[in-house]
Every structure is written in C-alpha cells, then in structure tokens.
C-alpha cells in the first residue's frame, strides 16, 4: 500500500486552510511553520502566557478568553469532583499536552483518563503525555473555526478517544460526539451525560452556565 502524503503547501493561505482556516495571528514563526518539534513546543510553553499546540510541524496558538477559561475550569471542577468521588481516573486541563498521534500534540480544554487505561493509578508527570483520554472537551472560543473543530474531532477519534463534548458559550449548548459524524446537540435546558465513558455523571447545562454573565454588547456611542 502506498503511503498517503499531504500536498505540498504553496502559500501561507494553503497552510492556514490546512490548519482549519485559522487566523494567521495564531501561527508562531519561531521556529518557522513546518519546522517545529516537540522540543520547540515545550520551549515556548515555558515562556508562559499563551497556550500552543503542535500541528503539522507548526506551533499553533490555542485561543482562550476569560469565559472559555471559566467554563473549562468549572466543568473540570464538577466532573473532577465526581471522578474523584467514584475513583474513576483523573483529569487533565488545557495547559496539559497530549500527543494524540505521532507528531500531533493537542491540549484539550478538559479531558478524562480512566484508571483502566493506566494501572499504576498515579497521574503521569511527563511534559507531553502519550496517554489517550476517553473523553475530551473543547470550549469554543471566538478564534476557533468550524473546520478546525472538525479536524480535531477526526484526530481525537482516530487516536482512540471515545467521547467528545464541544461546549458553546455563545449558545450555551453542547454537542456530544461519539464519532466525528455522530453528534447529539444538548440544548441550554438539557443535561450532559457521561454515558459509558463516565458512568452516572450528569450535569444540567444551566448549572454550568449559571454564573456566567451575559455576552457583553456593544457600548453605545456618545452623543456630542
């Protein structure tokens, strides 16, 4: 069987399209796109302040504003409390790095790894883990694109993830994926369910968004 290779990039536009139609502001130029390694990813992470992922040998900034950060932490708290109470496994946050596929390092906003995948029952301490979670969560930011999210879904399931939650702060809904093309949308009045991945876990979306303020509107113009 012949090896499938990606088409050679001819322009910056080709690169941005390949990465999911993202903004060029999110592409790191140190090192140049196409030359980045896991060592570069760790080096830029140590600078602090911004989160990056390694995609197609390119360092790509992971956009995350205050609402998204709050929701990721709140969901992590609620899910983490349940996981700890039932002693099911452990959680990672957005600043953790996971090599989903060879050379592809992602940092899901929240992810859950069951003890059944890790018999030592201690949290690994490697700077980049190769332990694939059963559940990953993405909280959508304004800088995320649909194409990028679709790409992540394919990568996650190809790597072995069993369940993906995509949380939308704008609509206060959640899309639950059991495969890249199998999705159930949970309305704002609905409840997230851990299914067979986190048995017994249920979270009303209203409780997750309860303390999140309404989106800021445009400031009225001052009249002279």
> What CATH topology corresponds to 66-208?
tt1808, chain A (3.90.1570)
Percentage of residues of the chain with pLDDT beyond 70: 92
- Give the residue among 49, 67, 46 at the shortest CA–CA distance from 213: 67
Residue 218 reports pLDDT greater than 80: no
Residue 220 reports pLDDT greater than 50: no
- State pLDDT tens for residues 135-194: 999 999 999 999 999 999 999 999 999 999 999 999 999 999 999 999 999 999 999 999
- State pLDDT tens for residues 49-66: 789 999 999 999 998 888
- Residues in CB range of 58: below 8 A, 6 or more apart: 15, 19, 27, 28, 33, 34, 36
Residues 82 and 110 sit within 8 Å (Cβ to Cβ) = no
Residue 6 reports pLDDT greater than 70: no
- State pLDDT tens for residues 18-31: 999 999 999 999 99
- Residues in CB range of 65: below 8 A, 6 or more apart: 141, 142
Residue 122 reports pLDDT greater than 50: yes
Residue 217's pLDDT band, with cuts at 50, 70 and 90, is: low
Among 1-15, 108-122, 126-140, the minimum mean pLDDT is found in 1-15
- Give the residue among 121, 91, 124 at the shortest CA–CA distance from 109: 91
Residue 224 reports pLDDT greater than 60: no
pLDDT score at 5: 45
Q: Would you mind telling me the total number of residues written for the chain in this entry? A: 224
Q: What is the mean pLDDT of residues 93-115?
A: 96
How far apart, in whole angstroms, are the C-alpha atoms of residue 170 and residue 142? 9
Which residues face 176 on adjacent strands?
165, 184
Query: Model-level pTM?
Result: 0.90
Residue 223 reports pLDDT greater than 60: no
Residue 10 reports pLDDT greater than 80: no
- State pLDDT tens for residues 145-158: 999 999 999 999 99
Percentage of residues of the chain with pLDDT beyond 90: 84
Spans of all domains in the chain: 12-61, 66-208
């Amino acid at each position: 069987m012949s090896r499938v290779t990606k088409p050679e990039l001819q322009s910056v536009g080709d690169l941005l399209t390949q990465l999911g139609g993202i903004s060029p502001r999110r592409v790191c130029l140190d090192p140049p796109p196409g030359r980045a390694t896991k060592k570069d990813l760790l080096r830029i992470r140590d600078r602090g302040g911004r989160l990056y992922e390694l995609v197609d040998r390119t360092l790509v900034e992971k956009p995350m504003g205050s609402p998204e950060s709050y929701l990721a932490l709140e969901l992590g708290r609620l899910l983490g409390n349940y996981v700890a109470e039932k002693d099911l496994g452990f959680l990672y946050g957005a600043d953790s790095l996971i090599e989903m596929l060879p050379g592809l390092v992602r940092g899901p906003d929240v992810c859950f790894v069951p003890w059944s995948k890790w018999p030592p029952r201690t949290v690994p301490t490697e700077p980049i883990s190769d332990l694939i979670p059963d559940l990953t969560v993405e909280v959508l930011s304004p800088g995320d694109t649909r194409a990028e999210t679709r790409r992540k879904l394919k990568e996650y399931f190809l790597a072995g993830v069993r369940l993906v939650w995509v949380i939308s702060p704008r609509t206060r809904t959640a899309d639950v994926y059991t495969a890249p093309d199998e999705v159930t949308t949970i309305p704002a009045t609905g409840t997230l369910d851990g299914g067979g991945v986190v048995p017994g876990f249920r979270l009303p979306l209203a409780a997750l968004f309860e303390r999140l303020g309404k989106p800021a509107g445009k400031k009225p113009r001052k009249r002279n």
